């Protein structure tokens, strides 16, 4: 089932600003995926580039669409780091 996302220019600006300022590697990876989607790339392409499953990328996009950047933060607890984006 295809879901149509309605992102505004404000959403694009929010993502670009957040990408510059975000220090959490997990969230930054998710922001990068959403930014790529906003630039017109398909979920399959984004997933391949980030070495993730397309369903995972879709979940990140849906989360942002539903609740903004706050929905992208890791809610698992602990101090788990992304193995792909280790930002000091």
Kindly report, residue by residue over 8-60, the tens digit of the pLDDT: 778 888 888 888 988 888 889 999 999 999 989 999 999 999 999 999 999 99
| pTM score, whole prediction | 0.77
User: What pLDDT sits at residue 8?
Assistant: 76
Burial 61-81 (b: 16+ CB within 10 A, else e): bebbbeeebeebeeeeeeeee
């Amino acid at each position: 089932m295809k879901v149509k996302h309605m992102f505004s220019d404000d959403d694009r600006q929010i993502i670009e600003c957040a990408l510059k300022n975000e220090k959490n590697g997990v969230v930054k990876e998710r922001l990068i995926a959403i930014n790529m989607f906003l630039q017109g790339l398909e979920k399959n392409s984004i997933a391949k580039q980030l070495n993730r499953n397309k369903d995972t990328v879709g979940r990140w996009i849906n989360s942002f669409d539903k609740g903004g950047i706050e929905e992208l933060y890791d809610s698992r607890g602990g101090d788990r780091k992304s193995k792909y984006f280790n930002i000091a």
